[in-house]
Chains A and B, each alone.
Chain A
Amino acid sequence: MKKRSVSIVLALFLVLALFAAACTDDDATEETTTTAAPAPGETTTTAAPPTTIAEPVGEYPRDETLYTSGTQWGPPGSWNPLVTWGYATGTVNFVYETLFIYDPFTDEYIPWLAESGEWSSPTQYDLTLRQGITWTDGEDFNADDVVFTFELGQRYPSVQWAPMWDWLSSVEAVDDYHVTFTFDDPLYQEWGNFLYSRPMVAEHLWADLSEDEVVNGVNENPIGTGPYMYETYDQDRMVWVKNENWWGIDALGLDPAPKYIVDIVNGSNNIALGLVLQGGLDLSNNFLPGVATLVSGGYGVVTYFPEAPFMISANTAWLVTNNIKPPMDDPAFRKALATAIDVDTIVSVVYGNIVAKANPTGLLAVWDQYVDQALVDQLGFSYSTEDAIAMLAAAGYVDVDGDGYVDNLDGSPIALELIVPNGWTDWMESIRVISDGAKAAGINIEPAFPDYGARTEVLQDGTFDLAIANDAQLSNTPWTYYDWIFQDPIQDQMTNGNFGRYENQAAFDLVVDLDKTPTDDTAAMAAIISDLQEIFLTDLPIIPLWYNGLWAQYSDAVWVGWPGSGADQNHYLPATWRGYWNMTGILMLCDLELRPAE
């Protein structure tokens, strides 16, 4: 009798457990299937239903599916193109498209939603839109949508392009396909950046949204104009399905081959590596240490360059010096420090040659035409411990207390901390090399690995000594690079640029001048950039070290036609990162083909 009651209780528990598990599993299934059917009510309004939504399938056939990874760090949770740091991979360019696409290798703006655009006067920009583009709910895309998108920044001050209205005076739709922009004080470089980086949203769907909904809303079931549509998502993936009625198929002759794109949330490196090796992941934009050996080892792993540096350079890794703290406030000290760093060892030993050493100006390879070589030869720095020791001595930094390290000009000891976020293994190794080099030259620098949040806080507050940062990404103009370095004004919190709090009005003015130079006037741009380089190399407000790669390793087991440096390959960016699809990433996708059966 008693015995039985024990069993009954246990059995009840078990049933309860299984029931609970079953219920929750069912919920999950139900939820994904309901969210997956993209807004059935909204798609039926048009004469020519553009989207024939296929029945949700149980399995994505391998020969119709592209697997990508490298962008998403957590469960997809937002499909709002305005949440630029957190929207699900592909929200912009798969669904929401931009007016232009920018090709950083050819410095070309490729018309996308726009058919053409030109400055008809120094303060007026005329935009012609492509005809026959529809939103996936069937409504036409036209000039009203463009005007609406721009005016969102005027309507709501927390929209990211609100500051644009300080120099933009009006946006008017001339007719359905022509828009005229009038400027008070045109910032041409920033405008160029805007043209390819800001997605257009649908007026008929967004007009009634509140500021909070526009800026923070999760925008489930996104309706855009692009080549893919929302299919489903789960904790570890985002799935897109092809929009068979995409305008680009006719207008551009581009037809993306994969019917489905499954973007996998980043797990650990070994999981990503395992997936690439097994052919389960077609394009990985994760940083995988030691990938160079796989490329040359015949594992079927391909990168953009077949040999070093393997990856396209995407941003510059700098040593950020806190220029308001002694001794970093002394340019002579900064130059001596730069001379003491053995970047070649970092490149070859820490990175296994998948990065390239930075030019002393820090300008990315795509901006080579702007590098003033004469200035670099005259003012640049290169690694030499002896030179660094001599430079320190010449600037008055000597070892007063006899501990083997030089001391401040006032005699107090120098003990600096160089920080990178804990867990960023490549950077952690790099700063050990930097610390060794500095110590050899007599500068006492200790590496430290605070948590990412703590590291970011001291960078923004300006309370750090030295740090590594790489925040300025590849873009249409070196202006974004200099705008980051010479960010003005210096505020209590520097959220995006000039962590070192370098102050130089001449440099700040030059950055503004550069912004006001038309993007096609490369001669004028080069002149200003040369002046900026002179200031940069003389004062060295931040020390360029190496170019972080656009990490991209792909497998041609299923899909072929990947970008590469070869003459017979396309030179698009193999990138899924936010802000890279619109720099030819989307063209890379359209060029993929199924590997022919053998």
Chain B
Amino acid sequence: MRRYFGRKLLTYGLTFFLAVTIDWLIPRFMPGNPVSSMVARAQVRPEIAERLVDYYNQLYGFNESIITQYFNFWKSLFQGDLGTSIFVFGQPVTNVIMDALPYTLGLLLPAILLSWVAGNKFGAFAARSKYLDNTLLPVGYVLTATPYMWLGIILGWSLGLKFGWFPISGAYSFSLRPALSWKFITDALLHWFLPFFSLFLVMFGGWAIGMRNMIIYELEADYSHYLEALGAPRKLIRKYAFRNAVLPQLTGLALQLGVIVAGALVTEIVFGYPGLGLLVLNSIQNQDYFLLQGIFLFIIAGVLIANFLIDVAYVLVDPRTRIGMTGGTA
């Protein structure tokens, strides 16, 4: 058990290091210079422009060599300091991200978990059932092949504009301020629904298709036929098949996380939902290195932690992993 997790942790550590290094590097390849565009926006007299450029270069550490900047970055990272944002001028990057993170998590977690659970259940239910299978298969394929953004636009247009059931932008009405009241909660939920639903639908299609195929595969396996020959009830056979089929789906979830996060960021932009997605867009446009790398750092950490949890879950749900770890053979 310890060896298993030790190895896993080492892999995660290495991945984290590489991902963060790339994350630090990429913004710096962007053309343009954040300090001089900022000073340009300040529209100051030329006498002071040069002074300000020097001042901010020093403040942000851009006057150091690129290698020193890199080491400084790691040093402050271990002190929990992600630097100061240029776009949201003067605010520590951690503050900016913490303000936006709840919105992104509030969309992502329910969408991922509910779609995974519902997709698997429904896929298993639909497999080998003639009518459902005939409808699920095409619908599922269409859903899972839909770009998140496109489905978002369609939903916004139809449910939002045409029928007017849901607001199409923002996290809650501009006339409200957060409070523990029914009015605020319903308003926030209404605003939350469309971005959530467009994420949910796309993922749901994928999981349902995957599960349906896995179940059919498992039902063809020797153990199923054996159980059948023994006269076991159909329900029991499907139960066993489901448990075996869930394992690859779990791995699939781990693999899909990165894609899902990217999809969520785009969905947020479509619905003007004030999470990390809009911030990513703005920080790219304003060459805000610190904010951009800060956000991606959070995403990297989030995806790695989720993967780790899935690894743990895998051990719990698959006895073979456990036996393998303690040295036995299955």
Interface residues of A (CB under 8 A from B): 2-3, 5-6, 9-10, 13-14, 17-18, 20-21, 24-25, 27-29, 31-33, 36, 56-62, 65, 67, 73-75, 77-78, 80, 83-86, 157-158, 160, 162-163, 166, 212, 215-218, 232, 234-237, 239, 262, 264-265, 267-268, 271, 274, 280, 450-457, 460, 471, 473, 487-489, 491, 493-497
Knowing A75-B96, A235-B274, A236-B272, say if A496 contacts B174 (CB, 8 Å).
no
Knowing A162-B48, A496-B46, say if A271 contacts B89 (CB, 8 Å).
no
Total A-B residue contacts, Cβ distance less than 8 Å: 226
A460 touches B40 (CB 8 A): yes
A2 touches B109 (CB 8 A): no
Cβ contacts under 8 Å, B98 to chain A = 27
Q: Chain A contact residues: over half helix, strand or loop, or mixed?
A: mixed
How far apart sit A258 and B170, CA to CA, in the bound complex (Å)?
23
How far apart sit A55 and B204, CA to CA, in the bound complex (Å)?
45
Q: Chain B contact residues: over half helix, strand or loop, or mixed?
A: helix
A491 touches B99 (CB 8 A): no
B101 touches A14 (CB 8 A): no
- Pick from A6, A27, A215, A267: contact of B272, CB below 8 A: A267
Knowing A451-B32, A454-B32, A496-B40, say if A32 contacts B178 (CB, 8 Å).
yes
How far apart sit A314 and B224, CA to CA, in the bound complex (Å)?
77
How far apart sit A85 and B171, CA to CA, in the bound complex (Å)?
26
Knowing A5-B316, A67-B174, A84-B43, say if A58 contacts B91 (CB, 8 Å).
no
B174 touches A237 (CB 8 A): yes
Interface residues of B in 33-75 (CB under 8 A from A): 33-34, 36-53, 55, 59
Cβ contacts under 8 Å, B287 to chain A = 453
B324 at the interface (CB under 8 A from A): no
Cβ contacts under 8 Å, B100 to chain A = 75, 235
How far apart sit A443 and B55, CA to CA, in the bound complex (Å)?
43
How many Å from the CB of B174 to the closest CB on chain A?
5
Knowing A59-B183, A62-B175, say if A451 contacts B31 (CB, 8 Å).
yes
B90 touches A24 (CB 8 A): no
A-B residue pairs in contact (CB < 8 Å), sample of 12:
A9-B316, A18-B109, A75-B99, A80-B90, A83-B89, A85-B43, A158-B48, A166-B47, A236-B274, A451-B30, A457-B36, A496-B42
A495 touches B102 (CB 8 A): no
Cβ contacts under 8 Å, B170 to chain A = 236, 267
Give 6 closest A-B pairs by Cβ, nearest first: A453-B32, A235-B274, A77-B88, A24-B102, A454-B31, A86-B89
How far apart sit A163 and B52, CA to CA, in the bound complex (Å)?
12
A262 touches B175 (CB 8 A): yes
How far apart sit A28 and B287, CA to CA, in the bound complex (Å)?
27
Cβ contacts under 8 Å, B87 to chain A = 74
Instruction: Tell which of B34, B41, B102, B105 has the most Cβ of chain A within 10 Å.
Output: B102
B285 touches A452 (CB 8 A): yes
Cβ contacts under 8 Å, B243 to chain A = 2-3, 6
Task: For A453, give the chain B residue with the smallest CB separation.
Answer: B32
B43 touches A3 (CB 8 A): no
A456 touches B169 (CB 8 A): no
A3 touches B239 (CB 8 A): yes
B91 touches A21 (CB 8 A): no
- Pick from B47, B84, B278: contact of A163, CB below 8 A: B47
B313 at the interface (CB under 8 A from A): yes
B106 at the interface (CB under 8 A from A): yes
A216 touches B90 (CB 8 A): yes
Interface residues of B in 240-295 (CB under 8 A from A): 243, 246, 272, 274-275, 278-279, 282, 285-287
